[in-house]
Structure 1
Amino acid sequence: MKILIVDDEPLARSRLQRLLSPFADVNCVGVAENAAQAWLQIKKLQPDLVLLDIDMPDEDGLTLAARIAELPLPPAVVFVTAHAEHALNAYQVSAADYLLKPVVAARLEQALAKVGTITRAHLERQQAVEPKIAYQCGLVTKNVALADLFYCSAESKYVKLTFRAGEAYVDLSLADLEQRFPQLVRIHRSYLINPQYFSALKLTAGRYEIQLNCCDDKLPVSRRSLAQVKHDLQLK
């Protein structure tokens, strides 16, 4: 189990690291001292569990936990705090457990056992659900299945999805989509494609373009990305 520790107090971070060290199946992959650092670490390290303080400068742990819960496959969150009065709010943002400082080893072990079960169940549920991307259509939230997505293109502050039933705009970056759906292939700083619709890579007037078998659009391939594109699409 990969664990990220988030606490603005160095002594608290060190104590948790010491308490975690005897567990053979636990790997503390990183520490963060505030919510901004934690958010970057979560995206980079993909932890299974975040041990999260509540009272921190700027963004508090409850607000960060609410953001974490919106991720496609969020890590479990266990709050570690000196304040018992936050317990109700903690469970309202889907916390797996709530530990009071100073944390004792036996109580931490209980929390880890509970999270292990949650994490396995979460993964099984995620694998059973077809990946989808949500978008707004007026006041209605709709979804496009990843299998029906042709490509994504960056346009100003938004990303346009082109798919079997039409087009839609999402308030996400290409980097966000690339992270959430690693099966998509980056062919240009402004384009991601679904490789299942790849038809051909052609050199036209000195420029590389990709043709898809689902539409007539010709999508540019940057020279910088060319080698990686060929690798990802298994082209020679």
Structure 2
Amino acid sequence: MTIKVLIVDDESLARDELRYLLSQEDEIEVVGEAENGEEALTKIFNLNPDIVFLDIQMPKVDGLTVARTLLDLKKKPFIIFATAYDQHAIHAFEVNAIDYLLKPFDEDRVMKTIEKIKEKLNHPNQEVFFKWLEQLREGSNQQSKHTSKLAVQLEERVLLIDPNDIVYAFREGRGVLIKTFAETYTTKYTLQVLEEKLKNFSFFRVHRSYLVNLNHIQEMTPWFNGAYTLTMKDQQQSKVPVSRQFVKPLRDALEL
């Protein structure tokens, strides 16, 4: 059995060291490396590794954000955290179904980790790991909203969008598009899934096909038969319909 591994670390020397140690095992195949969280997500989507050795401290998108994003994958890789934290700091991340490595790497410790990986892949039981990742997501809801990102898979990469930059989202045909101030992105989410992902931000369903950021509404004007139209704050001053059934809840949300 070949175990596919992705190494994620912003330090090239750390990646080289870990790759060398892993190369001592015949069953391990390092299928790729990434030097930041965004690149890591792209390669996880494209390479489908069994294991991700994931640095916690990285600029912009850290390892914990990557781990939370993996909750959305149907096939979830095991995560092995690699960190320079001491044992007291790492204790919060330690559960039975996952392991961690302290930097600088110790060869014997890496080998023990690999043996643990083999055992879990031969007798898969990821329940504890998934429960822990769910706790990470719940914990992130208590943090600043600016630290959370929405992962959008494009053709060749994964883009992490700050939800606060999203003006609105809408369904068009079979796809769902996200409109930011700068761009419009096609996603693989349904509008219902997107609404759930953004529930801790200021988003509101105003129509069966539209989800808007309340912070980016410029004005609300009557339209026809009790319905309304929203003018958004993007450069195009986009018009978004508000179904009659959503008018009162929206007015309540806006405290009108």
Per the alignment, in what secondary structure is the counterpart of residue 111 of structure 1? helix
Give the aligned length.
138
CA distance, structure 2, for counterparts of residue 68 and residue 95 of structure 1: 16
Amino acid corresponding to residue 121 of structure 1 in structure 2: H
Asked if 2 retains the 8 angstrom alpha-carbon contact of 1:3 and 1:28, the reply is: yes
Q: Equivalent residue for 2:111?
A: 109
Equivalences for 1:1-236 in 2 at 5 Å?
A: 1-84=3-86, 85-91=88-94, 96-122=98-124, 154-157=174-177, 169-171=192-194
Asked if 2 retains the 8 angstrom alpha-carbon contact of 1:5 and 1:31, the reply is: yes
1:50 Cα deviation (Å)? Answer: 0.5
CA distance, structure 1, for counterparts of residue 193 and residue 63 of structure 2: 27
CA spacing shift, 1:124–1:8, aligned 2, 3 Å: closer
Amino acid corresponding to residue 60 of structure 1 in structure 2: D
Q: Deviations over 1:100-129 (max 9, x none)?
A: 11111111111111112223333899xxxx
Q: Equivalent residue for 2:246?
A: none
CA spacing shift, 1:52–1:160, aligned 2, 3 Å: closer
CA distance, structure 1, for counterparts of residue 85 and residue 189 of structure 2: 45
CA distance, structure 1, for counterparts of residue 126 and residue 57 of structure 2: 33
1:60 Cα deviation (Å)? Answer: 1.1
CA distance, structure 2, for counterparts of residue 86 and residue 56 of structure 1: 16
CA distance, structure 2, for counterparts of residue 45 and residue 160 of structure 1: 21
**Runs of 4+ residues over 4 Å off in structure 1:** 158-161
CA distance, structure 2, for counterparts of residue 34 and residue 156 of structure 1: 27
Per the alignment, in what secondary structure is the counterpart of residue 113 of structure 1? helix
Asked if 1 retains the 8 angstrom alpha-carbon contact of 2:83 and 2:103, the reply is: yes
Per the alignment, in what secondary structure is the counterpart of residue 28 of structure 1? strand
1:22 Cα deviation (Å)? Answer: 1.3
Q: Equivalent residue for 1:226?
A: none
Identity fraction in percent: 36
TM-score scaled by length of structure 2 = 0.48
CA spacing shift, 1:4–1:110, aligned 2, 3 Å: same
Q: Equivalent residue for 1:129?
A: none
TM-score scaled by length of structure 1 = 0.52
Which runs of 5 or more structure 1 residues have no equivalent in the other structure?
Answer: 126-152, 162-167, 173-236
Q: Give the CA RMSD over aligned residues.
A: 2.8
